């Protein structure tokens, strides 16, 4: 009884504090409290840092591929290198379930040159991860892109549960761990597919997705990601 009264009082005090000091929106990258004129979720310093990263990645893309791409992948376009504020945004989206972090990422992805693709397909996540996280970050980025570009998207792939988390493995084991874990749910026969993911590291995830898409008849597979690691891990 006493406990109940105490918790009631605490809740009332909390509600009063909320009224007096409404929570200020924080920067999606650095958590700094935003001023009233900063409405897009990012502080000016992080906006500038993201612009610099975008430019850095653009220069890198213009220099062309230095690493061999996985079989079946025509090209990989990335909006950012996977570092600094771009990495923070992706971590917020993935591990802190902050969906608004997808908006600036998708905006930068939408600025990348679009190829001849006809269909956007998000890289699937496992059902288990979907339950834990509540959403698939690749699907969130994909629908924002589809909306911006006015392009059709389809969740054409599914991914099996019960594999070791990719982030705990090195390159070779990543590929072995993934082979055969995805399959197409619909026919993508003759279609040029653009695969959407958050991060490109070794390429093993998109390689498996491309394998499943080609098996389902895809004419070609390109890849677009929010960020790409700068060096082979």
Nearest distance in Å: CB 59, Zn ion: 24
In this complex, which beta carbon is closest to Zn ion, that of residue 49 or of residue 181? Answer: 49
Nearest distance in Å: CB 18, Zn ion: 24
In this complex, which beta carbon is closest to Zn ion, that of residue 27 or of residue 146? Answer: 27
Q: Which two tokens stand for residue 114?
A: 């679009």
In this complex, which beta carbon is closest to Zn ion, that of residue 47 or of residue 214? Answer: 47
In this complex, which beta carbon is closest to Zn ion, that of residue 93 or of residue 188? Answer: 93
CA angle 46, 133, 226 (to 5 degrees): 40
**Is 43 a residue that touches Zn ion (CB under 5 A)?**
yes
In this complex, which beta carbon is closest to Zn ion, that of residue 42 or of residue 73? Answer: 42
User: What is the Cα–Cα distance from 26 to 207, expressed in whole angstroms?
Assistant: 37
Give residue for tokens 């490109």: 200
User: What is the Cα–Cα distance from 182 to 131, expressed in whole angstroms?
Assistant: 18
Distances (CA, A) of 181 to 67, 135, 160, 211: 24, 19, 5, 10
Phi, psi of 194, rounded to the nearest 5 degrees: -110, 110
Residues 45-84: x/- map of binding to Zn ion (CB under 5 A)?
-x--------------------------------------
Total residues contacting Zn ion (rule CB under 5 A)? 6
Nearest distance in Å: CB 3, Zn ion: 41
CA angle 108, 109, 111 (to 5 degrees): 65
User: What is the Cα–Cα distance from 77 to 167, expressed in whole angstroms?
Assistant: 21
R_g (Cα) of the chain, nearest Å: 20
Footprint on residues 10-39 left by Zn ion (CB under 5 A): 27, 29-30, 32
User: What is the Cα–Cα distance from 123 to 195, expressed in whole angstroms?
Assistant: 6
Q: Which two tokens stand for residue 73?
A: 């992948």
Which listed range, 43-51, 149-157, 177-185, 212-220, lies at the site for Zn ion (CB under 5 A)? Answer: 43-51
Nearest distance in Å: CB 36, Zn ion: 16
Which listed range, 40-48, 73-81, 97-105, 214-222, lies at the site for Zn ion (CB under 5 A)? Answer: 40-48
In this complex, which beta carbon is closest to Zn ion, that of residue 102 or of residue 184? Answer: 102
Residues forming contacts to Zn ion in the complex (CB under 5 A) are 27, 29-30, 32, 43, 46
């Amino acid at each position: 009884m006493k406990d109940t009264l105490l918790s009631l009082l605490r809740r009332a005090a909390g509600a009063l504090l909320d009224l007096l000091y409404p929570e200020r929106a924080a920067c999606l990258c650095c958590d700094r409290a935003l001023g009233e004129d900063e409405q897009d979720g990012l502080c000016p310093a992080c906006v500038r840092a993201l612009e610099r990263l975008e430019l850095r990645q653009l220069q890198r893309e213009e220099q062309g591929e230095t690493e061999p791409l996985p079989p079946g992948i025509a090209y990989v376009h990335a909006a950012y290198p996977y570092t600094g504020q771009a990495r923070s945004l992706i971590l917020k989206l993935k591990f802190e379930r902050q969906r608004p972090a997808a908006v600036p990422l998708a905006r930068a992805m939408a600025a990348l040159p679009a190829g001849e693709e006809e269909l956007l397909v998000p890289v699937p996540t496992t059902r288990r991860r979907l339950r834990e996280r509540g959403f698939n970050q690749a699907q969130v980025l994909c629908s924002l892109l589809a909306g911006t570009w006015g392009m059709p998207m389809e969740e054409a792939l599914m991914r099996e549960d019960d594999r070791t988390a990719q982030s705990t493995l090195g390159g070779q084991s990543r590929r072995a761990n993934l082979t055969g874990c995805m399959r197409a749910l619909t026919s993508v026969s003759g279609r040029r597919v653009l695969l959407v993911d958050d991060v490109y590291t070794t390429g093993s995830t998109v390689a498996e997705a491309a394998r499943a898409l080609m098996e389902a008849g895809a004419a070609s597979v390109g890849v677009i990601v929010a960020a790409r690691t700068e060096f082979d891990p």
